[in-house]
Amino acid sequence: MGVSGSGKTTIGKLLADSLNWEFKDADEFHSTDNIEKMRLGIPLNDTDRKPWLKDLQTAIALWLQENANVVLACSALKANYRQYLRLDHENIKLVYLQGSLDLLQQRLLGRQNHFMSEKLLNSQLDMLEEPDDAICVDISEPPQLIVQNIKTALEI
């Protein structure tokens, strides 16, 4: 979890590959209306996110039922979003990718072909409720080291 530009997709894919697990990106669950709003630099509100969160919760419930090993990259910026999605505290672990404003802005400005506008970073940071029950990793480290730190913290 983390704001846009924190490396959720990059780190999530690397982690999933290193564990031979499936990778899913919560961005794939957004409606076309939500994607268009974000592309235009319009922040989503709780009403916009409600169907997205419901679809994510349904997918997570299915993965748990199937005993599937999945790494999900998801912003999950608010505590109530995380509570809604975390259906099983024993089997669902949170990893918070945390970084400085400068690094996040630099990454977003260098990003191409992504719907998330860098104009939305400040609104995401304003909305962010940092978790107190997650593995917290510094995104300024090299990706492979971040993945190793996550695996160590998860004791995998």
CATH of the domain at 144: 3.40.50.300
Q: Which domain holds residue 17?
A: 8-154
Q: Where are the alpha helices (DSSP H) in 20-75?
A: 32-39, 46-65
Whether 2 is in a domain gets the answer no
Query: Tokens for 29?
Result: 């669950």
In a domain, 1, yes or no: no
Distance of CA 152 to the CA centre of its chain: 20
Q: Determine contact, residues 5/137, Cβ cutoff 8 Å.
A: no
Structural domain contains residue 16: yes
**How would you write the pLDDT of the chain (156 residues) with one tens digit per residue?**
999 899 999 999 999 999 999 999 999 999 999 988 888 888 889 999 999 999 999 999 999 999 999 999 999 999 999 999 999 999 999 999 999 999 998 888 866 665 555 667 888 899 999 999 999 999 999 999 999 999 999 988
**Count of domains observed in the chain:** 1
Residue 3 lies in a domain: no
How confident is the model at residue 9, as a pLDDT?
Answer: 94
Q: Is residue 26 part of a domain?
A: yes
Domain assignment present for 103: yes
**Secondary structure of residue 131 in the 3-state scheme:** coil
